[in-house]
Amino acid sequence: MKIAIIDYGYANIRSVINAFNCFECDISILESPKALADSDKIVMPGVGSFDAGMRGLRERNFIDTMSERVFEFDVPFLGICVGMQMMSEGSEEGDLPGLGWFQGTFRHFPSTDSSLKVPHIGWSEVTAQPDSQLFSGIDLVSDFYFAHSYYLPIDEKKDEICAGKCTYGVPFTAAVEQDHVFGVQFHPEKSQLAGMKIIENFLSI
Partner 1 sequence: MTTKYRLIASVLCHRGQVVQTRRFKPQNVIGNAITAVDFFNSWAVDEIILLDISPNDQYFDSFVETADELSKRCFVPLTVGGNVRSLDAARRLTRVGADKVVVNTGAFLRPELIAEIADAFGKQAVVVSVDAAPNPDLPSGYEVVIDRARHRTKEDLLSWVNKATAHGAGELLLNSVEHDGDRRGYDIPLMNLVTSHVSIPVIAFGGVNEWQDLVSGIRDGGVQAVAAGNIFHYTEQSTKKAKEFLEQAQLRVRRSQFYEISLPRHPKYRPY
What's the rounded Cα separation, in Å, for the pair 72 and 186? 27
- Which lies closer to partner 1 via its Cβ, residue 36 or residue 194? 194
Say which amino acid occupies 115: S
- Which lies closer to partner 1 via its Cβ, residue 107 or residue 169? 169
Catalytic residue among 81, 93, 120, 166: 81
Residues lying near partner 1 in the complex (CB under 8 A) are found at 10, 12, 14-15, 18-19, 21-24, 47-49, 82, 111, 114-125, 137-139, 142-143, 145-149, 167-169, 187, 189-197, 200
Helical pair 63-72 and 50-59, crossing angle rounded to 10 deg:
90
What's the rounded Cα separation, in Å, for the pair 127 and 90? 24
Q: How far is the CB of 25 from partner 1 (least distance, A)?
A: 9
Rg, Å, the chain Cα set: 16
Q: How far is the CB of 75 from partner 1 (least distance, A)?
A: 23
Q: How far is the CB of 64 from partner 1 (least distance, A)?
A: 26
Largest CA distance in the chain: 49
Classify residue 153 by its DSSP letter. B
Catalytic residue among 22, 89, 187, 200: 187
For residue 119, cis peptide bond before it (omega within 30 degrees of 0): yes
Reduce the DSSP state of residue 179 to 3 states and report it: coil
List 142's β-bridge partners, or say none.
126
- Which lies closer to partner 1 via its Cβ, residue 36 or residue 146? 146
> Is 189 a catalytic site residue?
yes
> Is 120 a catalytic site residue?
no
- Which lies closer to partner 1 via its Cβ, residue 36 or residue 43? 43
Total Cβ atoms within 10 A of residue 44 = 28
Q: How far is the CB of 110 from partner 1 (least distance, A)?
A: 11
Classify residue 41 by its DSSP letter. E
Q: How far is the CB of 11 from partner 1 (least distance, A)?
A: 8
- Which lies closer to partner 1 via its Cβ, residue 111 or residue 178? 111
Q: Catalytic site residues?
A: 81, 187, 189
